[in-house]
Amino acid sequence: MSAFDSVNEWIAKITDLLKTLVVLGIVIGILFDDPFGVIAGVGRIMGQFGDAGLAGLLALIFLVAVYNKK
């Protein structure tokens, strides 16, 4: 296994952990009135994509395509 493969494996594990934490934060936010501000943060990020117009839409489509490629 090369160093590049090892780094990719670590990044994939960290990304999976962060996705799990975001989902957990959203569930906790729904149940307990968003004590950590996760739902507000996600809303701000989506708002930034919307404010960017076509460029934001293209960036969002690109991110979804990269995510689905995995």
DSSP SS3 for 38: helix
- Supply the Cα-derived Rg of the chain in whole angstroms: 15
To the question of pTM greater than 0.75 for the whole model, the response is no
pLDDT for the residue numbered 25: 92
pLDDT at 52: 87
Residue 56 pLDDT more than 80? yes
What is the mean predicted confidence (pLDDT) over 8-20?
91
Return the percentage of the chain with pLDDT > 90, whole number: 33
Residue 43 CA: distances (Å) to CA of 2, 3, 14: 39, 37, 23
Cβ distance 57 to 64 under 8 Å? no
Q: pLDDT: is 60 or 10 the higher one?
A: 10
